[in-house]
Amino acid sequence: MVECPDYFKLKVHGRVLEHLGIQMYQRPVNAIAELVANAWDADAVRVDINLPDSISDEAEITIKDDGVGMTPEECQDKYLYVGWNRRADNPEAKTDGKKRRVLGRKGIGKFAGFGIAGVIRIETISQETGEKTVFELDLDDLMGDDYIGTGEKQIKVVEYDGPDEERKEVHGTTVHLQAIRLKQKVRRDFPRSMARRFLLLQQQAEFNVFVNGAELPESVDLQNIQFVFPRDYEQDEEPSGLITKDDGSGWGEEKLAAGRTVRWRFMLHTETIDEEELRGVAVYANGKLVQTPFLFYLTGGISGQHALEYLTGQVQADYLDSLEDDIITTERQRINWEHDETRALLDWGAERVKQIARIWKARRAKKRRQQIEEKVLVFADRLGKLPKTEAKTVRKALEKIGSIETLSDDQFEELGSAVLTSWEQGRLHELIDEIADVESFSATQLVDILIEQEVLTGLNIAEAVKTKILTIGGLKKLIGKAELENTIRDYIAEYPWLISPGLQTFTKEKSLRKLLTQLAKKYNLPLGKEGKRVDLVLTSGDQLVVIEFMQPGLTLDVDHLSRYDLYFRAIKTNVIEANTASGFRQLTGYIVADGLARDPVMIDKIKSMRDEKMLAMDWATLISNALEGWKEFLEALAIREPRDDRLKALLEDFE
């Protein structure tokens, strides 16, 4: 065994400078992904990434794995041999222990940390010998006045402990990124962004990555997916030669024109994709990202163009990383699409995207037609009184409006209802006839009509207002009967706008119930008969709203209010601040109870809680606010349409 020297030497290939690519790794997810890939090559089973809460001079990012670690000789001959290619001349090289396909190729990914840090500290324990070796790389020292030269650079060994049988059990490597060069802390979406860098996480049970103790989430939220291809192909739509497995994953396999094999899965979301990082198709080789999401350089003019705003996908093309020519850029984010071996993949991808866009357009139109049929059934009795030719005309008009791709489902349902009502009232017959007769109907034409015919929009809104009034009336009855909290909670869960108009799009959040019940027990807040919380938890995007109810007629006291204050802060700490992988960034609280103004101490407490986004209201105020807002809105509509008897009738409902 060779004795550990006092200094290591950094060996540099002449070609390294152009590839070191420090500037290419200035996003944390790009830099850290390279270090995770190194852990894969080291046969690690678990990788722990720890991110700091804030950026300061003392802040540090650590990437710890339980891989095979390194001896001092390996530190010198492999890690510090910049440009050392682990695969050598074998593109199919595998790791010694777990026989994994080796990801590393250029031998410089270990220096990606310099994209976000000035110092890289390595602590490694060899599984083979139990030796512990610690050394540091300082970028300023390595660069000196210029770039690294062609000679050798001394790297001081900070700590060394000799062979030890017991230490073998804690083998692995920890990379400390220090002197962080980021201006702000790592973004909250880091875990999902990291998950998108690797298909390995979905395919390998023996490779798990954690961020601040939480396992990485799924790279794609399948709950928000409407279609998955090839799984959702109909028989006559499947490409020739496609191979699929009936395992529910949605993946398929095809051979390209050049005989290369690719696996792929394209998904269409229910709503447009706001995240630029997610929209488009990502390409992977050996389980690691090699091309960030893109659309195979398609431009406008394809059928179903709007589908591209809903599309995300993954293509696994392992052959790209096994070619004699290295066609993947240094930071593994882009492919050289001009290479002969990549043109077939580019052409194939463009064709698949165009085909799926056409299918999506047809499916969307079909869904619209189904929605129309369901909508028409609601008015079946009234339509039955119309001549058949008139009913046919209305149906055709609805189909034309339904074909507009940019309309959401809710918008279409509201417009469809307005069209039916307008015809029923003897309004806009000529206009609806015109819509029914046109070959195609665009969003621009629809907007023009809505501007020209204000009564269509006004009448539609008036109907929506009437629905709101009836809903408020239902809550008022429950409060008048002093129903239990859980009955009222369930009612408000269905109509969250009763609390605040801004909660219109919020839905019930269930995944946090266990945690919230534990916190409620801790702060002695009331539980229901089943030992669960009776509050309401709503969510929309990254926003979380927690609403505490007391049975109407019961008086809120300072003790309950203070315990709710602690409960709210505990949620903020556990869900928003500490559990950064939860996806929630904002927390708002409401407490609804009677007797808020009976105690001056409680009034002061309520005021202080308001500054922390914890709001309070009594039941009478809740009803009054909800009702008055809609009444004012309806009065404004009546002024615009003074001759509309239906609007007058709705106003009378308030009297």
Confidence label for 151 from pLDDT (cuts 50, 70 and 90): low
Q: Please give the average per-residue pLDDT across 629-636, as a whole number.
A: 63
Per-residue pLDDT, 451: 43
More confident residue, 361 or 514: 361
> Quick check: 364 pLDDT over 50?
yes
Per-residue pLDDT, 359: 92
Put residue 79 in one of left, alpha, beta given phi > 0 → left and psi -120 to 50 → alpha: alpha
One-letter amino acid at 317 equals A
Q: Please give the average per-residue pLDDT across 147-164, as a whole number.
A: 78
More confident residue, 397 or 126: 126
pTM, to two decimals:
0.56
Going by C-alpha positions, the residue among 146, 154, 151, 155 that lies closest to residue 121 is 155
CA–CA separation, 485 and 289 (whole Å): 50
| pLDDT more than 70, % of the chain | 75
CA–CA separation, 479 and 627 (whole Å): 15
Per-residue pLDDT, 14: 36
> Quick check: 455 pLDDT over 60?
no
Angle at 455 between CA 452 and CA 458, to 5 degrees: 120
Q: Please give the average per-residue pLDDT across 348-372, as a whole number.
A: 86
Per-residue pLDDT, 527: 63
Q: Please give the average per-residue pLDDT across 296-323, as a whole number.
A: 83
Per-residue pLDDT, 60: 95
One-letter amino acid at 106 equals K
Per-residue pLDDT, 512: 79
Confidence label for 133 from pLDDT (cuts 50, 70 and 90): very high
Per-residue pLDDT, 11: 61
> Quick check: 317 pLDDT over 60?
yes
Going by C-alpha positions, the residue among 419, 430, 324, 429 that lies closest to residue 376 is 419
> Quick check: 641 pLDDT over 60?
no
> Quick check: 591 pLDDT over 80?
yes
CA–CA separation, 634 and 639 (whole Å): 9
Q: Please give the average per-residue pLDDT across 604-632, as a whole number.
A: 79
CA–CA separation, 601 and 559 (whole Å): 11
Tokens representing 466 are 């009437």
* Least confident window among 233-242, 278-287, 489-498: 489-498
DSSP state of 101: B
Sign of the dihedral through C-alpha 641, 643, 644, 646: positive
Q: Which of 69-78, 80-89, 289-298, 547-556 ranks highest by mean pLDDT? A: 69-78
Confidence label for 146 from pLDDT (cuts 50, 70 and 90): very low
| pLDDT more than 90, % of the chain | 21
Per-residue pLDDT, 19: 46
> Quick check: 152 pLDDT over 90?
no
Matching residue, tokens 């802390």? 185
> Quick check: 386 pLDDT over 70?
yes
Per-residue pLDDT, 264: 95
More confident residue, 260 or 446: 260
Q: Which of 180-184, 262-266, 483-487 ranks highest by mean pLDDT? A: 262-266
Matching residue, tokens 């839905």? 507
If one counts every other C-beta atom within 10 angstroms of the C-beta of residue 593, the result is 23
Per-residue pLDDT, 145: 47
CA–CA separation, 526 and 112 (whole Å): 52
Confidence label for 402 from pLDDT (cuts 50, 70 and 90): low
Per-residue pLDDT, 161: 95
* Least confident window among 194-203, 208-217, 272-281, 433-442: 433-442
Number of H helices, E strands in the chain: 19, 22
